[in-house]
Amino acid sequence: ATFQGFHTYRVSVGFRWGNNLFINSEVFFFLAFFWAYFHSSLAPTFELGSCWPPVGVDFLNPFSVPLLNTAVLLASGVSVTWAHHALMENDRSGGVVGLIVTVCLGVYFSVLQAGEYYDASFGLSDSVFGSVFFVATGFHGLHVLIGSTFLLVCLFR
């Protein structure tokens, strides 16, 4: 699969196709959860009490932990871009610092999300709201943990 230390053209095309298919599958995976949320919230059924959120479900305050988590994710995007540009310019120390900051922000996001789950007044089985909330944010949190783990491996390499 390599020729003089480089991938052949056929292997490179295969990698590109595989990467594109993986990204597209992730997009459609999360699109399904957004679809379920908007379908249930914009046209609540009789079983939900014809209102959104369903009766007995208290929304989380969007200006507390969710807003902080958004800021943490944006900051981690900035720090990983900083690390990438530093490594592209052979600034190893800048790349290492950027990766350390990114991994720390990923762990911080995960801790905040776990606290958010603990404080939620609804559960996975309470209604479609709880199901969509916990599954969508859970898979997103899983992606953050996997990404942080991959970046941690890159940091130690």
Contact 95, 155 (CB under 8 A): no
Q: Which of 60, 25, 30, 35 is nearest to 141 (CA)?
A: 30
Residue-wise pLDDT for 116-128, tens only, equals 999 988 888 888 8
Give pLDDT, residue 127. 84
Question: What is the pLDDT at residue 100?
Answer: 97
The chain-wide mean pLDDT, for the chain, equals: 92
| DSSP assignment letter at 122 | S
DSSP letter (8 states) at residue 66: H
Taking residues 51-64, report their average pLDDT: 84
Q: Which amino acid is at 152?
A: L
- Mean pLDDT (whole number) for 102-125: 94
pTM summary value: 0.84
Write down the H helix ranges in the chain.
Answer: 9-42, 65-88, 92-119, 128-156
Confidence of residue 107 (pLDDT cuts 50, 70, 90): very high
Q: ∠122-32-19 over CA atoms, to 5°? A: 125
Residue 91 scores a pLDDT above 80: yes
Q: Work out the angle at residue 128's Cα, subtended by the Cα atoms of residues 127 and 130, and round it to the nearest 5 degrees.
A: 65
| The CATH number, out of the four listed (1.20.120.80, 3.40.50.720, 3.40.50.300, 3.40.190.10), of the domain defined by the range 55-156 | 1.20.120.80
Supply the pLDDT for residue 24. Answer: 97
* Per-residue confidence (pLDDT) for residue 1, from 0 to 100: 59
In order of 38, 80, 113, the CA distances from 98 in angstroms are 37, 6, 22
| Confidence check: pLDDT of 81 > 70 | yes
**What's the mean pLDDT in 36-58?**
84
